[in-house]
Structure 1
């Protein structure tokens, strides 16, 4: 099966999300002791980036469900 642009896009975003979650866990562990203001800021930023990437993946999933076999969006009948 040939990969569509959407499949490649989802794969790239998924990999980035995985890396951000790994960074988030490392910072979370380091913050168990005492955290510097810079670490706290990075923690908050990573948390926001993770949420944003998850939202983008949700959008990509929805769009891929709406695509027909030709890469065009299907209109739902009401």
Structure 2
């Protein structure tokens, strides 16, 4: 039982020791980027993806087989 507690305590300390510096780096980078953008500067990390343009969709096209089935169902 004590071994499990010690293993958990060690794991928590390792995770805390690694996550704190990473969080500090991320927060400082975000703060610098936000100040740069608010002052009218160019972003250091531009978007690396292209947003798809919204196009008006045409109505779905049916296959000839489906059209024949619909016509037969109507008759």
TM-score strictly above 0.5: no
Higher relative contact order (CA 8 A, sep 6+): 1
Larger radius of gyration: 2
Q: Give the TM-score taking structure 1 as reference length.
A: 0.41
Q: Give the TM-score taking structure 2 as reference length.
A: 0.42
The structure carrying a bigger helix percent of its residues is: 1
